[in-house]
Structures are given as structure tokens and as C-alpha cells.
Amino acid sequence: MAKILSSKEESYSQWYNDLVVKADLAENSAVRGCMVIKPYGYAIWEKIRDTLDGMFKETGHSNAYFPIFIPKSFFSREAEHVEGFAKECAVVTHYRLKQSDDQTGLVVDPDARLEEELIVRPTSETIIWDTYRGWIQSYRDLPILVNQWANVVRWEMRTRLFLRTAEFLWQEGHTAHATREEAVEETRQMLGIYADFAEKWMAIPVLKGVKTESEKFAGAEDTYCIEALMQDGKALQAGTSHFLGQNFAKAFDVKFLNRQNQLEYVWATSWGVSTRLMGALIMAHSDEHGLVLPPRLAPIQVVIVPIFRNEEQFSAIRAVAEKMVKDFKACGIRIKFDDRDTHKPGYKFTEHEFRGVPLRIALGPKDLENHTVELARRDTLTKEILPMEGITGHIEQLLETIQDNLLAKAKAFREANIHKVNSWNEFKETLENKGGFLYAHWDGTPETEEKIKAETKATIRLIPLEGDPEDGVCVYSGKPSKQRVVFARAY
Amino acid sequence: MAKILSSKEESYSQWYNDLVVKADLAENSAVRGCMVIKPYGYAIWEKIRDTLDGMFKETGHSNAYFPIFIPKSFFSREAEHVEGFAKECAVVTHYRLKQSDDQTGLVVDPDARLEEELIVRPTSETIIWDTYRGWIQSYRDLPILVNQWANVVRWEMRTRLFLRTAEFLWQEGHTAHATREEAVEETRQMLGIYADFAEKWMAIPVLKGVKTESEKFAGAEDTYCIEALMQDGKALQAGTSHFLGQNFAKAFDVKFLNRQNQLEYVWATSWGVSTRLMGALIMAHSDEHGLVLPPRLAPIQVVIVPIFRNEEQFSAIRAVAEKMVKDFKACGIRIKFDDRDTHKPGYKFTEHEFRGVPLRIALGPKDLENHTVELARRDTLTKEILPMEGITGHIEQLLETIQDNLLAKAKAFREANIHKVNSWNEFKETLENKGGFLYAHWDGTPETEEKIKAETKATIRLIPLEGDPEDGVCVYSGKPSKQRVVFARAY
């Protein structure tokens, strides 16, 4: 199997696509730009979703569900918002099909035209704030801390599995607050949760910061984001948290009586991560042998592959393996005994390696004799023989070690790919030859930002949240600057 | 609050709608026929979803995700299927909006017309079987046991919150098998799981059976179903499991090499339950005082309401309450301490009663003195004073008792509303005056079925799975019959 994976160096993009398809994570569907998330890929997404969901609930949020359709007129209410999304909307215009008059096929029934077209949600601020108007009268009704897990549609012209698809799965938090301060605090809190999740679960270190005017969410006052670095030196925006000010409250007329008994517009945030995280996860750790998964998100953490020549050996191994499965499960380890008789051990080894199972145990007649197991690590591709006694505890620790190791590796990679650049030549050369995150001075104008993008395809990924103030001059214009920002080419 | 709930006897339908809205379960949205599921309602749905999901996984199923859009041409492939769904399809025809030429608003961009229209999925057999063609080559690839949690859209003209909405949430299992027998077994297994879930978790007894030709799923060979009885004597179809034969395999050309190395079409099942279950849950147990929830599905099982006159009393009560919360949580009981200082105890009592919290503990200064609590049961509306010692264990048992009591009540109600009728007059009189499930002989023809429906609005809910064979004559036509079937008016 490993052979059928393209070389990462030759074509990173082909390597990625092969990996996603051949590791049974996702595939393209018959519908342009829409993917099928296969069971193994979906099992990883479930771990991501459930973990994040727990973190949201820990911080007081509840889930709810809003309509998939948004009346067209809702979009026009917030000027920037419509500007941002109108060009990629799937539009429902009719509600019925019928047989064509000549009975040769199915056609849209012209008599079933909607009075007002409906947009398949690209994001739900408008329909949700239209709903919140009915939920909020006074400060007693605030805050509203609601999240939605849903599918959304953005009609992208160039799509890539997980990274950019016409339909994707995501969560979108939408909160309503009585004060600006509380809303800003919520925005930052959620950014922190995303960063924590990326580091502790996905083993991906991220930079935290604020987007520039031209990169922020359509309708936000400020967009906070986390940015991760992929192995090809490109950045990937892994999550965003928006402080929406009173924009949507004004657009949908959502006011509340404050404690001083005055009517005031409500303050808002929204924040989201999507199946794009799957793309980040795959690209951050995987190698020429296939997927590498951090143990905390691996649907299967340990697989046992039996090695046998005859039925008698198989049944002796099965007895030991089944005992191990029971012990491991009792410790909360996700383990699978691969007892298929349709495939040989070598095939199974390659398959589980390819699918990124963190640990593999091979169990043969000799192991039974010697009370040992052969244990192989996916992250280091190393093997060792271990006594069967105490194996559960050993593996529990080893899974932690692997999780830590993947994060350490990703951190080291990122450190090696952060470059402070101080001149336009250095900027261009570093970007071309090394890639990575470029810390550079910028004069703060959208004009310069746009020119740099046009010349190099690098964008300002973020203005660091904990940036050291430092006087300097813009690498492009030579005008004064107070702080370095982070440039990169990005997914 | 109770006063604002309409009388169940006067208008069951108004009572239901009031209850759904005022208990914060769901509400209508700005989009015709689409509902907003509010956080409290969604929390109940999450319990339903997670429990069923666990049961599916226990029986070897995995989740996956397929596109929300289905190319129009896919529908025409299976003749009955298209017949069943074409009339209620939301159709996407364009993928872009733009400013109108006179700059007065947003219009659909005529240049962005799709070559082939896309249907928002009303169910996913077609897109999934188109995908399975790529997954299945040989018997080694079978069975495929996949489930999807998703939103679907059916453009219903008359909608009611949870019971019938244009968009709803559901799960749809889609399995592929090498033999007819295995597929039939799967169909029946899933029906069993639905029935189990309804009884053990929702406290709703259900009848199991098979649909008649005219009531079965569009594209199925057989539709199995569970039917529940609501308090107004009407039936509600709570879940269906379809044996699809080779219909979709033939429509999408999905063949496999069997063990004899011959090409054969794959056998299929599909099965689903939806947010309609919320409607069943609400209607089965609730009363004039509001919602009644079975403890196993209640987001909050126990609420503590403090009763105090001053800050000193409140802080003494808080200390005890917080200890209780900790103890209860350790036992896995979902408990909430309602410490809002914005509302009085009386208001809180009514509110929690209205929202169906199974148990309420009132805690005042006297209770602290006497080491007692006042405990109120939602199902019986009874109160008792209990020693604080041992309260956790007592409540654990009581929650089980309430769960059992609700099921017993629902069973007794159903038993009282099952009527064997033997003549056409008896049929009509019983239906009019008593409602419920009518066990009657039927001649097996769609003509008679149709006439009975036209005259009485009663439909054949199911042909019982474990029906006693019994010779008789059709109540309507007088023709011979071998088994009674179950008639009812239905949601």
C-alpha cells in the first residue's frame, strides 16, 4: 500500500489527496465539490466533535438547531456580510419536481417557484439573530451561549477534500451579551479553547492573533484566529472567533433593557471550526507511510495482529488476544483485534500503518511461549519485544508519550520555520526558499497588504496577540511600524 | 405558567403546540415549515441521539457522512422512489447571488445556473448507493453497516413542530449485504432496536409490524415499523426499517462477486428515526401542567430550589445544596441547583414542573434544621418530606420507579385503547367514540384499504409481526381474511 502513495516531496498536494482517499478518510462524491466522509474519517471527526462539545459545555454553552435555509432578504441586512457570501450561495428556487410533459424525465415544476428564494446556509448569523430577537427582552435573558453543529454550503470553485469543500461540517457558536467587554471576553475565551484543543488533542501548536481588516469575517468588528503550520511550509487557518460588535443586533433589531432600564443593542460573538481540522490533522503529522494520528484522536489506538500457521495456533492466540482486549478496554484504551482470515499479517501491518494506528501488537506462537509481544510504534516506526506482564500499563504510558512526541515534533518544526525578515529581498527569498511563518514589519495599510499578496501570494495570517511591541519599518514600503505581523502562504 | 397552557380536552393540537413553544423545546422560524430547536429541546434530542448511536455501534454500525445534495437525475433511477419524493423536493438551481442592476437589492445571478439541478436530500438512498458502487467489489467488502446523522428536507404543505416539518433531523442507516436473508435479518434487528429504545428510554410501548403495499417506503420491498399510541387516541409512526431488496443496487448498478465467483446485485436495508420522536415523547406523557419526561431522557433529572428570606439563610442552603449536587453527580444523576436570584421559588416550581423535570427538591431553613428535604414528583405531582441522610440512594431508586411508572401508565393506556372490532358499524362507532388501535379483519386489497381511509380517515398502521392467525371476514367487504390488522387515525 505504501508504494501507491505519491512522494511528499514531488507533490505535496497529490500526496495529501492520495492519503485521504486511500486511508479511507473521505472521497469526492457525484456532486461537484461535495465530499463523502467515510466511516474511518468520520470516526476521527466524531472524536474531534465530542471533545470540543465537552469543552463548550464545560464553559456553559448549550447546543441548539436553526434552519438550514435563510431567506434571501436576510443577507442584505448586513452590508459586509452579504458582500462576503453572496458570490458562493446555493440558492433554492423551487419546491417540487414533476414528470416532463413528454414523460421523458423529471423537470423542475415551474408552478412551484418560491416567492422568496432560500439560501442554503453558508453561516447562520442572520437566521440566528432573527431568532434571538424573540428571545431577548431584558438583561435577564442574557447572556445566550448557544452552539450549533451543522452542515453548511459555500459554493467554492476549487475544492480539496476536507480543506475546501462546497459542503462541510462545522460548529458555529453564536452568543449574545449585555456588554462589549463580556462579548470580547467570550471571543477570546473561545479562541483559547480552540488553541488548547489544537495543542492537547491534535498535537498541533498554533499561533493566536487577530486578522487584518481585509482578512476578517464579513460582518465582524474583529476576527481572532489560530494558525497552524503544515509540513510544506504553508499556513492553515484552523479556527476563528469573531467579535461582531452590535452589527447583527442592529441589522435584526435586537435590543434589550439594560439594568438602567434603557434600551440598548445586544453585543454578539460567533466562532467556528470545521471538518477543515481533519485536513490540518492529516497534514501536520503524516509521512510517506501514510497517516499518523495522535493517540487522543485515533479511533483505534492499538491493534493486535495475530500471526499463525494453523487453526490451533490461531485459537491459542485468540484466547490471549481477547483477554488483552478486555484488559485494555477496562483501562479506556481503544483496541481492536484484527482477526480477519481474509488477509495476511503483512497486509494488515501495512494497512494499519497506513491508517495511522498509533500502536501495533504482533502476537505469534513464539510470543505465547515466551510471554512476550512485539510492539510497533507508528510515529517512530520502531519495534520492541516486551514482556506480556504489565503490558497494559506500559501501553497507557506509551500512548501519552506518542501524543507528547507528536506535539514536540510539530513544535520543533514550527520553530525551525519561523523567520524574522527585515527587508523586502529577505522576505521574498525566505518565502521562496524556506516558506513558513515570516515575522515582518508592515505599515498597517491595506494597500501594502494587497501589493505583497499580489507579488508573493503571501497574506498576513495574523497580528500576534502577545506580540512584542518593536519599532521598525515596513519591509515593503519602508514606512514606520510598531509591531511585526505574521505572513505566510496559506491553504 | 400552567394557566397559559390550553386544555388538552378542548384542543389537543393547541395544547401540544403551546407546550412545545412554552416549554422552550422548539418554535417556528422565519422560514416556512422549518423549526428552531431550542437548547432545552435539543438537550433531549441529544440524549435520544447518543443513546441510539450507542445501540447502533453496539451492533457493529459506523457513522459516515454523505452530501446534502442529490443530482436530479439520481431520482429517476428508481421508479417508485421518485414517485414518492418528487413532489416535495427543495431544488437548488443556482449557485450565486448578485446585486440587481439598479442596485436596489440582491437577485439570483442568471449566469450562475447549475447544469443539473440539485435536490436537497429528502432521504439518501440514491446518493449513498451511487457511492457504494465504488466500495463494493466482492463479498469480502460486505456487509457495509453505515449510519448517518443528518438533516433532511421534505417540502410538506402543512407542518407541526417536531411532528411534520420541512426540515428535520434524523438518522438513516444504509446497509449492504451479500444475501437476502442477512438483509432481512438486519431490517428486523433494527426494528427491534427501535422498539427497545422506545420502551426502555422513552417509556412508550410500541406495536411492531409490517406496512401494507400502499403505506410502505417508496422503493422498499417491505417496510417494518413501530407504532405508538398518543393520548388523543391517534397513532404515531415512531420508526421504520426497510428491506430494500436489490432495488437500489439495480438502479445504481452495484454488483459483487459472491463466494461462488458469480456477479450478483447487492441486498440493501435502510432504517430511520427522526426528531418526530420528540413529538411522540411530548405527547405520550405530558399533562395539563406541562411536559412530563422519563428520567432517562431528562436533561435535568433533579432540581434543587432554595427557599430563603435573607442572604444568611441562602448561604447556609447553598452550602448544603452544593454538597448534594456533588454527591448526585458522582452517582451519575443529572442535577441542577437553581440559584437564580431573579426569580421567586413559586415561579421556579411552576417552571420546572412545566419543563418536566422528574424530581424537585425544595430546601429551606426548616429543612436544614431538621435534616430533611421536601421532594416533589413530577409524574404523580405528590410531595413528601424525607431525611437528608441516604437521599442520593433514595433518589436513584425513585428515578427508576418514575421511569417504570411512566411506561406502565402508557401500557395501561394502550391496553385500554386496543379494540377488536368485528363489523363495519362497530369499526366506525369505535373509531369515532373511542379512537385507539382497531384490530380488524381486512381482505388484503388496496381497494378496500383505500375506501376505508376515504370514509373514516383511518389507515392500516401495520400488519402485526406476531399476529395470531385467525380466520375471519373483512369488516368492510365481507371477504375472507386470515389475520387481523391494526387500523387507526394517525399523525
User: Which CATH number covers residue A457?
Assistant: 3.30.110.30
Indicate if A325 and A265 belong to the same structural domain.
Answer: no
Indicate if B142 and B192 belong to the same structural domain.
Answer: yes
Average pLDDT over residues A189-206: 98
Indicate if A187 and A325 belong to the same structural domain.
Answer: no
A148-173 burial code (b ≥16 CB/10 A, e <16): bbbbbbbbbeebbbbbbbbbbbbbbb
| pLDDT of B218 higher than 50 | yes
String of DSSP letters for A395-453: HHHHHHHHHHHHHHHHHHHHHHTEEE--SHHHHHHHHHHT-SEEEEE--S-HHHHHHHH
Average pLDDT over residues A432-442: 97
pLDDT tens per residue, range B158-214: 999 999 999 999 999 999 999 999 999 999 999 999 999 999 999 999 999 999 999
Could you tell me the pLDDT band of residue B1, with boundaries at 50, 70 and 90?
A: very low
What is the per-residue pLDDT for B75? 87
| pLDDT of A368 higher than 80 | yes
- Asked if residue A219 is part of any domain, the answer here is yes
CB proximity A408 to B under 8 Å: no
First vs last Cα of chain A: how many Å apart?
27
Number of domains in chain A: 3
What is the per-residue pLDDT for B5? 84
- Pick from A66, A69, A94: which is nearest to B36 by CB? A66
CB contact under 8 A, B91 and A86: no
| pLDDT of B220 higher than 90 | yes
Residue/partner pairs of A397-400 with CB below 8 Å, 24 or more apart: A398/A359, A399/A295, A399/A301, A399/A302, A399/A333, A399/A358, A399/A359, A400/A295
CB proximity B138 to A under 8 Å: no
d(CA B113, CA B128): 25
What is the per-residue pLDDT for A80? 83
pLDDT tens per residue, range A312-324: 999 999 999 999 9
**CA B261 remoteness from chain centre:** 42
Contacting A residues, span 100-129, partner chain B, CB-CB under 8 Å = 105-106, 108, 117-120, 127
| CA nearest to B114, candidates A110, A83, A93 | A93
CB contact under 8 A, B31 and A64: no
CB contact under 8 A, A92 and B92: yes
In this prediction, does ipTM exceed 0.90?
yes
- Asked if residue A338 is part of any domain, the answer here is yes
Q: C-alpha grid cell for residue B296?
A: 432517562
Cα angle A352, A354, A356; round to 5: 70
Contacts of A150 in chain B (CB under 8 A): 151
Higher pLDDT, A157 or B69: B69
CB proximity B83 to A under 8 Å: no
What is the per-residue pLDDT for A2? 46
CB contact under 8 A, B37 and A105: no
Indicate if A277 and A325 belong to the same structural domain.
Answer: no
- Asked if residue B409 is part of any domain, the answer here is no
What is the per-residue pLDDT for A1? 47
Average pLDDT over residues A1-18: 82
Q: Which domain holds residue A438?
A: 418-488
Single residue among A218, A253, A285 that ends a domain in this structure: A285
Single residue among A345, A365, A396 that ends a domain in this structure: A396
CB contact under 8 A, B96 and A155: yes
**CA A447 remoteness from chain centre:** 30
CATH number at residue A198: 3.30.930.10
Query: What is the distance in angstroms between the Cα of B427 and the nearest Cα belonging to chain A?
Result: 37
Query: What is the distance in angstroms between the Cα of B312 and the nearest Cα belonging to chain A?
Result: 24
| CA nearest to A305, candidates A343, A249, A331 | A343
Query: What is the distance in angstroms between the Cα of A93 and the nearest Cα belonging to chain B?
Result: 6
Residues composing chain A? 491
How distant, in Å, are the alpha carbons of B190, B242, B457, B463 from that of B486?
21, 19, 14, 6
Shortest CA distance from B97: residue in chain A: A86
| pLDDT of A5 higher than 90 | no
What is the per-residue pLDDT for B466? 79
How distant, in Å, are the alpha carbons of A446, B118, B308 from that of B464?
71, 39, 57
Query: What is the distance in angstroms between the Cα of B107 and the nearest Cα belonging to chain A?
Result: 8
> Which residues contact residue B54 at a Cβ distance below 8 angstroms, ignoring those fewer than 6 apart?
none
Contacts of A98 in chain B (CB under 8 A): 86-87
CB proximity B35 to A under 8 Å: yes
CB proximity A331 to B under 8 Å: no
Query: What is the distance in angstroms between the Cα of A37 and the nearest Cα belonging to chain B?
Result: 5
What is the per-residue pLDDT for A479? 97
- Pick from B63, B95, B99: which is nearest to A90 by CB? B95
CB contact under 8 A, B39 and A76: no
CB proximity B308 to A under 8 Å: no
Indicate if A67 and A203 belong to the same structural domain.
Answer: yes
Indicate if B183 and B69 belong to the same structural domain.
Answer: yes
Indicate if B139 and B37 belong to the same structural domain.
Answer: yes
Average pLDDT over residues B313-340: 96
- Asked if residue B92 is part of any domain, the answer here is no
Contacting A residues, span 42-81, partner chain B, CB-CB under 8 Å = 42-43, 45-46, 62-76
A280-313 burial code (b ≥16 CB/10 A, e <16): bbbbbbbbeebbbbbbbbbbbbbbbbbbbeeeee
Could you tell me the pLDDT band of residue A62, with boundaries at 50, 70 and 90?
A: very high
Query: What is the distance in angstroms between the Cα of B211 and the nearest Cα belonging to chain A?
Result: 26
Contacts of A336 in chain B (CB under 8 A): none
pLDDT > 70: what percent of chain A?
A: 99
- Select the residue from A56, A89, A159 to test the B interface by mutation, using most B Cβ atoms within 10 A: A89
pLDDT tens per residue, range A300-356: 999 999 999 999 999 999 999 999 999 999 999 999 999 998 899 999 999 999 999
CB proximity A91 to B under 8 Å: yes
Tell me which residue has cell 431550542. Answer: B38
Could you tell me the pLDDT band of residue B432, with boundaries at 50, 70 and 90?
A: very high
Average pLDDT over residues A400-420: 98
pLDDT tens per residue, range B99-152: 888 887 899 999 999 999 999 999 999 999 999 999 999 999 999 999 999 999
Single residue among A285, A318, A349 that ends a domain in this structure: A285
CB contact under 8 A, B106 and A34: no
- Pick from B30, B36, B97: which is nearest to A89 by CB? B97
How distant, in Å, are the alpha carbons of B108, B326, B406 from that of B295?
49, 19, 10
| pLDDT of A3 higher than 60 | no
CB proximity A218 to B under 8 Å: no
d(CA A159, CA A279): 12
> Which residues contact residue B393 at a Cβ distance below 8 angstroms, ignoring those fewer than 6 apart?
none
How distant, in Å, are the alpha carbons of A52, A223, A224, B79 from that of A207?
19, 14, 11, 54
Indicate if A339 and A199 belong to the same structural domain.
Answer: no
Contacts of B105 in chain A (CB under 8 A): 73, 76
- Asked if residue A201 is part of any domain, the answer here is yes
d(CA B266, CA B257): 10
Indicate if A165 and A18 belong to the same structural domain.
Answer: yes
- Asked if residue B466 is part of any domain, the answer here is yes
pLDDT > 90: what percent of chain B?
A: 92
- Asked if residue B100 is part of any domain, the answer here is no
Contacts of A100 in chain B (CB under 8 A): none
Indicate if B223 and B136 belong to the same structural domain.
Answer: yes
CB proximity A334 to B under 8 Å: no
Could you tell me the pLDDT band of residue B3, with boundaries at 50, 70 and 90?
A: low
Cβ atoms B241, B187 nearer than 8 A: yes
- Pick from B91, B151, B169: which is nearest to A92 by CB? B91
What is the per-residue pLDDT for B2? 46
Indicate if B267 and B368 belong to the same structural domain.
Answer: no
First vs last Cα of chain B: how many Å apart?
27
CB contact under 8 A, A31 and B67: yes
Contacting B residues, span 430-489, partner chain A, CB-CB under 8 Å = none
Query: What is the distance in angstroms between the Cα of B264 and the nearest Cα belonging to chain A?
Result: 20
CB pairs under 8 A between A and B: 197
- Asked if residue A478 is part of any domain, the answer here is yes
Could you tell me the pLDDT band of residue A10, with boundaries at 50, 70 and 90?
A: confident
Indicate if B144 and B257 belong to the same structural domain.
Answer: yes
Average pLDDT over residues B298-323: 97
> Which residues contact residue B229 at a Cβ distance below 8 angstroms, ignoring those fewer than 6 apart?
B235, B236, B413, B414, B417, B436, B437, B488
Contacts of B31 in chain A (CB under 8 A): 67, 69-71, 118, 127
Contacts of A43 in chain B (CB under 8 A): 62-63
